[in-house]
Amino acid sequence: MDALTLLTQRHSAPRLSEPGPDSQQLDTILAAAVKAPDHMALTPWQFVIAQGEGLLKLGEIFYQAAKTKGESGEGLARARLLPTRAPMVITVIAKVQDHPKVPVIEQHLSAGCAALAMQMAAQAQGLGGIWRTGSYAFDPTVRESLGVQGDDQIVGFLYLGTPLSRAPNKRSPDPADYVSFL
């Protein structure tokens, strides 16, 4: 797949199954992540990879978060299963440093770029993925369990695997609607 096709045809894959990325594919995905634009080369990111047992551990973290929030019944049971919707979930964390020239938002954006780069690297290798946040990205219990402190932010949970359905035939927004010229 050439670069422009990937950029203009990128899409999410919400329904994913095995196989997930193998170790070579994962290396490529991570190599793409660390090429994200990065003001002052702060490398303001951390990638927490969950597969196999790791998905159960992440599910346990979501479960504890849901319990702490007072959820019960189906909602609580569902929390534990969320990460098992894909063979691999990469939690993308913006690790923020106090820097005179690089405000927090730029470091968050950089980590976001890394998340997108990983999704595209997955798609370029015949895999699929979806970038999710949901309330757990902002949840104090989840943050604490993953060592996310202060201005650090979970910018996404990147679900990766083999798409279960073909790319949706969605209409793209018209770029002209969002463009002006000075």
Q: How far is CA 147 from CA 45, 64, 154, in A?
A: 13, 15, 10
Task: Examine residue 89 and tell whether it contacts ligand FMN (CB under 6 A).
Answer: no
* Measured distance CA(117)–CA(52) in Å, rounded: 23
With CB under 6 A, what is the number of residues at the site for ligand FMN? 8
Interface of this chain with ligand FMN, residues 30 to 59, rule: CB under 6 A: none
Which of 12, 43, 64, 141 contacts ligand FMN by CB under 6 A?
12
For the chain, the straight-line distance linking the first and the last C-alpha, in angstroms and rounded, comes to 35
Task: Examine residue 99 and tell whether it contacts ligand FMN (CB under 6 A).
Answer: no
For ligand FMN, the closer CB: 102 or 130: 130
Task: Examine residue 85 and tell whether it contacts ligand FMN (CB under 6 A).
Answer: no
* Measured distance CA(89)–CA(86) in Å, rounded: 7
Taking residues 106 to 135 in sequence order and writing x for each that binds ligand FMN by CB under 6 A, - otherwise, the string is ------------------------xxxxx-
Q: Which residue has the tokens 């991570």?
A: 30
Interface of this chain with ligand FMN, residues 142 to 181, rule: CB under 6 A: 156
Task: Examine residue 78 and tell whether it contacts ligand FMN (CB under 6 A).
Answer: no
**Coil, strand or helix: which one is 165?**
coil
Q: CA 37, 43, 44, 46 torsion: positive or negative?
A: positive
Tell me which DSSP letter residue 87 carries. Answer: S
For ligand FMN, the closer CB: 130 or 182: 130
Binding site for ligand FMN (CB under 6 A): 11-12, 130-134, 156
